[in-house]
Amino acid sequence: MRAAAFVLTGVLLFLVFGLTGPGVRAAGPTLTIVSPADHAVIGNGTSVPVIFVVSDFNLTRPGAGAPGPSPTEGHVDVYVDGVLTMAVSQETIELSLASGTYTILLRLVSDNGTALSPDVTSSISVTVTQGPAVGTPRIEISYVEIMYPNPGLVLGRDVIVSFRITDFALVPPGRGEPVPNEGHIAVFLDGVYYMAMTAFRPIPFSDLVDGEHTVMVRLVDDAGRALTPDASDSVTFRIQFAAIVDINPYLSITQIVLAGAIFVVLFYRRLGRNLLSTFSARFGGKKA
């Protein structure tokens, strides 16, 4: 009996002191970002939808809660790369971001903006691109067209090269850090950088010299670096210029001869009229 009473007393003491000891405390507020996933890629230039859940905390519209700091009531401050962007009380928000990689951090705060103690936050990293979120970029030269004199005849010095791409968005260089499936086209002529293309239009080449030429088009990121894996295509063609005979010397001689003939005709026509008038006057006077 004494042993049983001793054990029962120990259990009671353990329950009393254990439950009220410093190691056991009530659960505090929590904040968890549900979507998007950490390191997600948001494609096609769309806004970033952020969904989060809060527990043991009452979300209130900023400015409508208790006047002083409250550990159980307030709103969420949204930071993008350390900059306070907005304060919200709903668990779904939309962030419009340019191309790039960002850190999004959410923090529970009291109505007056005071952070909780301990601090309650949740953060993720996302990448925004104007291209698709998934896919392997490709580029392909679709055709080469000789502009002059007739399509398909290699007689002129002007050539047009057309292309098509998939799973890639063309944007002007210098927009920021490289992101997936976005950039521009680097054009090379005979191994030498020729120009950057940022729009879907044919590439013109003018005044090419006779002989073989190779045009290569390559997809590159914002910094001008080739993609991995490489996405490029090339075409080789031959220019054979048909020289046009210069008729200027012959034209000059013809003009001189023609001018002389006109002068002679006019001169003799005037001389003939003068002679005819002289003869008419003389013979008319004799008859009178």
Q: Please say whether the beta carbons of 140 and 163 come within 8 A.
A: yes
- Residue range 266-275, pLDDT digits in tens: 656 665 566 5
- Paired with 33 in beta bridges are 52
Q: Phi, psi (5° rounding) for residue 90? A: -100, 155
pLDDT of residue 57: 95
Low-confidence ranges of the chain (pLDDT < 50): 1-25, 148-153
pLDDT of residue 193: 97
- Residue 107 burial (CB count, 10 A): 21
Size of the chain in residues: 288
The DSSP code for 171 is -
* Amino acid, single-letter form, for residue 8: L
Rounded Cα gap, residues 109 and 121, in angstroms: 10
pLDDT of residue 189: 96
The CA–CA distances, whole Å, from 267 to 1, 83, 209, 270, 287 equal 160, 94, 52, 5, 31
- Residue range 125-182, pLDDT digits in tens: 999 999 999 999 999 988 776 654 444 445 578 888 999 999 999 999 887 789 999 9
